[in-house]
Amino acid sequence: MIINGVSIDATFAEAFPMKATRAIITAQHEKWAMISAQAMTGFATSVIACGCEAGIERVLSPDETPDGRPGVAIMIFAMGGKGLAKQLETRAGQCVLTSPTSALFAGIDGGTRIALGKNLRYFGDGFQVSKLIDGKRYWRVPVMDGEFLTEATTGQVDAVGGGNFLVLAESQPQALAACEAAIDVMRTVPNVIMPFPGGVVRSGSKVGSKYKSLGASTNDAFCPTLKGMTATELSPEIESVMEIVIDGLSKADIDKAMRVGIQAVCDLGAANGIKRISAGNYGGKLGPFHFHLQEIMA
């Protein structure tokens, strides 16, 4: 398959079941909601070393938030419910409770309930106040700038993590420009996050390493500087490869994000140095969710 001069590989991305949750952070201004959201989703690019994958889903207008203030929706993904709950609580406590004027609300009503502010309330040292409004429990925790308002729980749902595609370009600036274009449009798709810095990964990994202590190492088959040294997947004109990883609440959400992202890359086309779209997988043996690139773009 070729779109606008860009070859779409007959391969697939391989993804895994994860657990996910969403939280809504509000503040006096969007600026402070975003600062808190960025802190809460920081150091959360990969479950390999961060314990979770997290990202900002989108900015919310005041009429979309529970307290009528500007807000940001964030999502956190982890391999299991226990790990997700721990990450959520730790991050909420250190990054939202501490952030000026912030409030924290559930972003998923259904699913298994996990603690959001339920245990953060103890920071109130007995001065915290509970309010049960329309069946939802809120905690008002006295803090130095006034009150930190938080919903007690949020929903945890089954999700999919690890959807991905690779952008193969003739130069590094062209690969980055294509990925930026893809991320811009992918951020308009609900229920997905791209957890890596700016949504783009330049250090895709393969399973295993020559070093026993490492479970993953650089994906040498896609490293352009190793074209003459390894079993390369790259043709001579490819000078840079970047990857976009997508976590979503469902396979359909990731499908949609991949489709609009790949389309944005292809819109730049061969004229802008984009040669191929590929994807990362483990032979289909590890992850039950397969995203076939040519089917997605058909």
Partner 1 sequence: MSALTFTLRHRPEQRVDMSPLSCHLLQGLEPSEIGALTLQVGKAKVRVDDLFTLSGFDTQNIIIKNSFAKLDYIAKDLEAGSVRVEGDAGAYLGLGMKNGEIRVSGNSGIFTAAEMKKGFVLIEGNAGDFVGGALPGNKMGMKGGTVLIKGNAGERVGDHMRRGNILIEGNAGDYCGSRMTAGTIAVMGHTGKFLGYAMRRGTLLLWQAPQLMATFNDCGAHTLAFLPILFNSFKKLDSRFADSGLHFNRVQRFAGDMSDMGRGEVLVKI
Among 49, 110, 125, 133, binds partner 1 (CB under 8 A): 133
Q: Is the dihedral of CA 263, 168, 201, 216 positive or negative?
A: positive
Phi, psi of 144 (to 5 degrees): -70, -25
Q: Determine the interface stretch with partner 1 among 10-18, 50-58, 129-137, 154-162 (rule: CB under 8 A).
A: 129-137
- Least distance in angstroms from the C-beta of 110 to partner 1: 20
- Do residues 90 and 51 lie in contact, with contact meaning Cβ atoms separated by under 8 Å? no
- Least distance in angstroms from the C-beta of 149 to partner 1: 4
**66 binds partner 1, rule: CB under 8 A:** yes
- Lookup: tokens for 206: 């393969």
Among 146, 197, 208, 215, binds partner 1 (CB under 8 A): 146
Determine the Cα–Cα distance for residues 289 and 160; give it in Å rounded to an integer. 8
Among 63, 125, 132, 225, binds partner 1 (CB under 8 A): 132
Q: Determine the interface stretch with partner 1 among 60-68, 73-81, 264-272, 277-285 (rule: CB under 8 A).
A: 60-68
Count Cβ atoms within 10 A of the Cβ of residue 27 and give its class: 0-12 exposed, 13-18 middle, 19 or more buried: buried
- Lookup: tokens for 256: 């949609």
Q: Considering beta carbons, is residue 63 or 229 the nearer one to partner 1? A: 63
Q: Determine the interface stretch with partner 1 among 31-39, 125-133, 226-234, 236-244 (rule: CB under 8 A).
A: 125-133
- Do residues 215 and 207 lie in contact, with contact meaning Cβ atoms separated by under 8 Å? yes
Residues in the chain: 298
Nearest-Å Rg of the Cα atoms of the chain is 21
- Binding track, positions 67-106, relative to partner 1; x by CB under 8 A: xxx---------------------------------x---
Phi, psi of 79 (to 5 degrees): -75, -25
Q: Is the dihedral of CA 66, 72, 73, 78 positive or negative?
A: negative
**125 binds partner 1, rule: CB under 8 A:** no
Q: Considering beta carbons, is residue 4 or 98 the nearer one to partner 1? A: 98
Residues 243-282 that bind partner 1 (CB under 8 A): none
Q: Which residues bind partner 1 (CB under 8 A)?
A: 66-69, 103, 126-127, 129-134, 138, 140, 146-147, 149
